[in-house]
């Protein structure tokens, strides 16, 4: 099993516009407290993409976790978009489709992808618009999302829903445009094996780190440095210098970086019993769900 020495957590955003207050990046190195990368800077999605590409160029010994879904549901119906003959057959082809249909959208946005007449039918959109193939209830889930709910490990919502503060659909689609750009230079677990050297990426939802630190379900957002350092202590991590108010995006990234460092050396997190090669290729997996 690969042993990394630096661990990054990316709090991502699917909001429209170039620079996002909701993007934060933190790194935990060695035994030290995690630190924000470029604190005070308002990141763009392309800047994050370029930063990761630079880590690949430098062969950085870095494991990067991001908090969006790397694919849409496939396993339940054997298709991302059932009844559409042009539906992609795996995650890489899905990323390529999102990129091709959204190529004219700025800032890695995916508005044009969602406006495609066949794809539009499968999503719950804003303004009360619901596609006729969006499934009742909360919408379709990936296998890992069904599994985590049944096992009580987490309760992710469908990334085919684009409504509400907890939705991850827009973030996931913009993230897929980034993954499309990076897939030839940065391996993505579990779709790719971990490389012998250089960086690797994987999904790592911030709520899993919050639960591991003892924060109650539904109250996982941290907005003060004091609360952040209490949570870090529960993960056997030294305190940060943060005091007073801190954005929940920054605290999510800092806490998750420490959690990834704690978990990455444990083989059980890399070998979930329910994960198959087909699921890895078509839907991906969330690190920490075992």
pLDDT at 109: 98
Decide if 235 contacts 255 (C-beta within 8 A): yes
Place of tokens 């630079």: 54
Q: pLDDT confidence of 210, banded at 50, 70, 90?
A: very high
pLDDT at 266: 96
pLDDT at 60: 98
Q: pLDDT confidence of 137, banded at 50, 70, 90?
A: confident
The pTM of the whole model exceeds 0.85: yes
The CA-to-CA distance between both ends of the chain, in Å, stands at 17
pLDDT in tens, 223-282: 999 999 999 999 999 999 999 999 999 999 999 999 999 999 999 999 999 999 999 999
What are the structure tokens assigned to 162, written together? 């684009």
Decide if 142 contacts 284 (C-beta within 8 A): yes
The 3-state DSSP class for residue 25 equals strand
**How many DSSP H helices and E strands does the chain contain?**
9, 5
Give φ, ψ of 188 to 5 degrees.
-115, 115
pLDDT in tens, 149-208: 998 888 888 999 999 877 899 999 999 999 999 999 999 999 999 999 999 999 999 999
Residue 83: closest CA among 43, 40, 132, 127: 132
**Residues 255, 261, 262, 268, Cα dihedral to 10°:** 120
pLDDT at 214: 93
CA-based torsion, 103, 69, 1, 262: positive or negative: positive
**pLDDT of 219 strictly over 80:** no
Helices 225-234 and 248-263: crossing angle in degrees, nearest 10, is: 10
pLDDT in tens, 38-48: 999 999 999 99
pLDDT at 155: 84
Residue 221: closest CA among 265, 200, 251: 251
């Amino acid at each position: 099993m690969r042993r990394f020495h630096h661990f990054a957590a990316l709090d991502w955003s699917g909001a429209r516009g170039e620079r996002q207050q909701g993007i934060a990046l933190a790194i935990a190195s060695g035994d030290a407290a995690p630190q924000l990368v470029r604190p005070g800077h308002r990141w763009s999605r392309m800047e994050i993409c370029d930063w990761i590409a630079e880590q690949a160029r430098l062969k950085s010994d870095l494991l990067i976790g991001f908090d969006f879904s790397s694919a849409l549901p496939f396993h339940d119906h054997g298709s991302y978009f059932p009844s559409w003959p042009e539906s992609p057959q795996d995650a890489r082809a899905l990323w390529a489709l999102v990129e091709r249909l959204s190529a004219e959208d700025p800032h890695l946005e995916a508005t044009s992808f969602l406006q495609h007449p066949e794809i539009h039918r499968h999503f719950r959109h804003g303004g009360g618009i619901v596609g006729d193939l969006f499934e009742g209830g909360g919408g379709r889930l990936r296998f890992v999302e069904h599994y985590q709910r049944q096992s009580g490990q987490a309760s992710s919502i469908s990334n085919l829903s684009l409504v509400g503060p907890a939705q991850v659909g827009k973030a996931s689609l913009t993230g897929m445009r980034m993954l499309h750009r990076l897939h030839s230079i940065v391996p993505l677990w579990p779709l790719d094996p971990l490389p012998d050297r250089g960086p690797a990426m994987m999904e790592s939802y911030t709520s899993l780190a919050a639960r591991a630190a003892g924060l109650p379900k539904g109250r996982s957002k941290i907005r003060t440095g004091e609360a952040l350092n209490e949570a870090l202590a529960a993960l056997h991590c030294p305190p940060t210098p943060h005091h007073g108010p801190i954005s929940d995006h920054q605290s999510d990234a800092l806490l998750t970086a420490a959690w990834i460092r704690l978990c990455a050396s444990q083989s059980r997190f890399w070998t979930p019993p329910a994960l198959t090669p087909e699921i890895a290729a078509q839907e991906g997996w969330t690190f920490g769900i075992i």
